[in-house]
């Protein structure tokens, strides 16, 4: 029996997690242990992530998270706990250094993208972003009337994220850097080329980040895996996300070493303005379940079945409010489950 820790969290989180649990029940073979995280955990224990919950996650096969955060826990007190610290604590505590963001527009939604249909048709790419290094984690501060943020990468950090990129690539890895300017990018390029030699069945090409940003909107269907460092990946994955037309459709995964549990979650956040209304779109949550099956559990056929069920529901006309329709959470859940 595969053991899943379910973390509903805040806002619309409990609603979309209930839909995800229905999906998992229909697939079968899962033992689901539901725990608190984020604001819900702060209300219960004063901590956004307790040691007990973190330990349970470490012992699981995978962790499925819905959403954390909301205005209830907003504060200017730097010492007060914040829901987002629960997510950061999970990433650190589980050793999750790779963020995976797939971009595969559903055929039924090609006209919902801000780009023309002929530009995005056939797009099926994966952004692999390094998650625990770079400028976001470097030394920073202020000195007199200036400020500084330091970008540091080690060979080991680059090697392990490059291995993830090549592991999940079908045919080609496009490594994105700024090697014409930055010394960290020059090291990045050297190390990635070394890793590529261990994967002779995969192609490697390099793009400077500014060129990659342009190519992503001019020829997105030409990409397979985009491999990049933390800040570049943060920006490019959000740019790529808009190819699908709605943030309500986007799943993501954070993974570490093979054999350790990954964290799977939708990108859209807790949407507190519609919490409890039944209007939430569960499709990104279903996409996160598919990512868990594919990248976390190695159950490729079941992942494809979930994605196919979502595509067929959309092809049959399913549209939630964020997609311009009037289907509610229950409608969307039933439509997907009936196609599974």
Residue 229 clears pLDDT 90, i.e. is over it: yes
Specify whether 238 is catalytic. yes
Specify whether 61 is catalytic. no
Pairing of strands 98-103, 30-34: unpaired
Residue 136 CA: distances (Å) to CA of 131, 268, 299: 9, 21, 33
Among 139, 210, 273, 316, the active-site one is: 210
Q: How confident is the model at residue 114 (pLDDT cuts 50, 70, 90)?
A: confident
Specify whether 116 is catalytic. no
Among 97, 153, 177, 178, the active-site one is: 178
Specify whether 234 is catalytic. yes
Give bridge partners of residue 176 from the DSSP assignment: 207, 228
Residue 243 clears pLDDT 90, i.e. is over it: no
Instruction: Give 107 or 3, the one with higher predicted confidence.
Output: 3
Angle at 286 between CA 283 and CA 289, to 5 degrees: 155
Rounded to 5 degrees, φ, ψ at 12 are -80, 0
Q: How confident is the model at residue 79 (pLDDT cuts 50, 70, 90)?
A: confident
Under 8 Å CB-to-CB from 120, ≥6 apart: which residues? 105, 110, 113, 220, 221, 243
Specify whether 136 is catalytic. yes
Mean pLDDT of 246-260: 87
pLDDT at 241: 82
Taking a C-beta distance cutoff of 8 angstroms, is the pair 22, 6 a contact? no
> How many other β-carbons are positioned within 10 Å of the β-carbon of residue 130?
26
pLDDT at 278: 95
pLDDT at 244: 77
Q: What is the pLDDT of residues 120-178, one digit of tens each?
A: 999 999 999 999 999 988 999 999 999 999 999 999 999 999 999 999 999 999 999 99
Residue 262: DSSP 8-state: P
Altogether, the residues listed in the chain come to a count of 340
Given this chain, do its domains 1-104+249-340 and 114-244 carry the same CATH topology? yes
Q: What is the pLDDT of residues 35-64, one digit of tens each?
A: 999 999 999 999 999 999 999 999 999 999
Residue 112 clears pLDDT 90, i.e. is over it: no
Give bridge partners of residue 177 from the DSSP assignment: 208
Q: Where are the domains of the chain?
A: 1-104+249-340, 114-244
Mean pLDDT of 294-314: 96
Taking a C-beta distance cutoff of 8 angstroms, is the pair 177, 153 a contact? no
> How many other β-carbons are positioned within 10 Å of the β-carbon of residue 99?
23
Mean pLDDT of 281-304: 96
Residue 246 clears pLDDT 80, i.e. is over it: no
pLDDT at 258: 85
Strand order in the sheet with 251-255: 30-34, 2-9, 62-67, 263-266, 251-255, 98-103, 125-130, 225-228, 172-177, 203-208
- Average pLDDT of the chain is 95
The model's pTM is: 0.90
Report whether CATH 3.40.640.10 matches the domain 1-104+249-340: no
pLDDT at 39: 97
Residue 253 clears pLDDT 90, i.e. is over it: yes
Among 10, 153, 202, 234, the active-site one is: 234
Among 33, 224, 238, 331, the active-site one is: 238
Report whether CATH 3.40.50.10860 matches the domain 114-244: no
Residue 11 CA: distances (Å) to CA of 108, 116, 134: 28, 34, 31
Residue 198 clears pLDDT 90, i.e. is over it: yes
């Amino acid at each position: 029996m595969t053991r899943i820790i379910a973390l509903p969290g805040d806002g619309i989180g409990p609603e979309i997690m209930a839909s995800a649990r229905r999906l998992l029940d229909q697939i079968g073979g899962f033992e689901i242990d539901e725990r608190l995280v984020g604001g819900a955990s702060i209300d219960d224990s004063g901590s956004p992530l307790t040691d007990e919950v973190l330990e349970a996650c470490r012992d699981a096969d995978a962790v499925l998270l819905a959403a954390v955060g909301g205005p209830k826990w907003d504060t200017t007190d730097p010492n007060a706990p914040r829901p987002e610290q629960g997510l950061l604590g999970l990433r650190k505590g589980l050793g999750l250094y790779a963020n995976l963001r797939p971009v595969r527009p559903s055929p039924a939604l090609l006209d919902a993208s801000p780009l023309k249909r002929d530009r995005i048709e056939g797009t099926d790419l994966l952004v692999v972003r390094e998650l625990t290094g770079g400028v976001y984690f470097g030394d920073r501060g202020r000195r007199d009337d200036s400020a500084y943020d330091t970008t540091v990468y080690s060979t080991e950090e680059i090697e392990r994220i490059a291995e993830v990129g090549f592991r999940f690539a079908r045919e080609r890895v496009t490594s994105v850097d700024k090697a014409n300017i930055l010394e960290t990018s020059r090291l990045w390029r050297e190390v990635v080329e070394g890793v590529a030699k261990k994967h002779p069945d995969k192609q490697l090409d390099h793009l400077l980040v500014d060129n990659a940003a342009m190519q992503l909107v001019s020829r997105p269907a030409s990409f397979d895996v985009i491999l990049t460092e933390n800040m570049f990946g943060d920006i490019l994955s959000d740019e790529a996300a808009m190819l699908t037309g709605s943030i309500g459709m986007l799943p993501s995964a954070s993974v570490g070493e093979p054999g350790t549990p990954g964290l799977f979650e939708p990108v859209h956040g807790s949407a507190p303005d519609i919490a409890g209304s039944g209007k939430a779109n569960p499709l990104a949550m279903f996409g996160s379940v598919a990512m868990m099956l594919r990248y976390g559990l190695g159950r490729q056929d079941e992942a494809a079945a979930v994605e196919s069920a979502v595509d067929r529901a959309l092809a049959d006309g399913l549209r939630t409010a964020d997609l311009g329709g009037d289907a509610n959470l229950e409608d969307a859940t039933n439509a997907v489950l009936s196609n599974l």
